[in-house]
Amino acid sequence: MNAPSAKSLFRATKPKRAVHPAQVLIGGLPEQRRPDAARDPLDYDPTPPDATRAFLARELSAIRSHGRTVWENAVGGGHMAGELKRAGLDVVVSDVVDRGYPGTILRSFYDFDTAPAPVIISNPPYNQINARDGHGRWLSHSLALGAGYVAYLLNADWAAARINGFDALLEENPPSIEYLCCWKIDFRGGGSPPQRNSWFVWDRNRPAPDRGTWIRSRLYRDAGDGQGVLL
């Protein structure tokens, strides 16, 4: 028969460390959390260049099959437009506010009744294209403008929404391909981006395989080749 352990007796008789009065005071205070960064009311998030460069490395030939002119319809400070120009594309730029990029057409996207270019590429305001706030309106208007190629950089979970008619919108208008970014894009420079992003592409030359179904391919920051799979 084993002898009873003396550990519990030792713990009971061990002298307790004195608690500093300041610790008592701190313990009674509510826990403080880091304040959230102020959100731009227009959902403006400048796009780091690696996100656009990786996308163009995969899609530039498909883009050029529609022409050399691209419309960046939420240009902001021109972060994406600059990369498009460096790739040899002509870029028409517009936005609802002037953030200093030369040549910006100050006009609401919804005031355009035709696309000024055959290709649209942008990082649109998420609160205008998501299901909850925007009811997908930005996408619906984009597809109605007659462009042959539309590509948007969005939250990777964007297509999972089902409310406010979103099921029907994507059933009728599935993208041709989704490029899942295999790194977290640091839009705000905080060093700890919270989400994954995808490029969603609607290309008239490459119809989706079926209603509500599209190809998903992995996109790497170094533009390495990935394997596409059907969603």
H-run or E-run covering 129: helix 126-129
How many CB atoms within 10 Å of residue 107? 12
- Residues contacting residue 133 through CB under 8 Å, at least 6 positions apart: 127
List the 90-95 sheet strands across, edge first: 105-106, 90-95, 69-72, 119-122, 149-155, 197-203, 177-181, 215-219, 229-230
* pLDDT at res. 26: 40
Q: What is the mean pLDDT of the chain?
A: 86
- CA 26 distance to own-chain centroid: 40
Q: Which of 12-16, 58-62, 146-150 has the lowest mean pLDDT?
A: 12-16
Q: 70 and 120 in contact (C-beta within 8 Å)? A: yes
Range scoring the smallest mean pLDDT among 16-25, 90-99, 115-124: 16-25
Structure-block tokens of residue 19: 């608690």
- Strand-pairing partners, residue 178, are 200, 216
* Tens of pLDDT, residues 163-220: 999 999 999 999 999 999 999 999 877 777 889 999 999 999 999 999 999 999 999 9
What pLDDT, on the 0 to 100 scale, is given for residue 72?
98
Lowest-confidence pick of 87-91, 100-104, 170-174, 219-223: 219-223
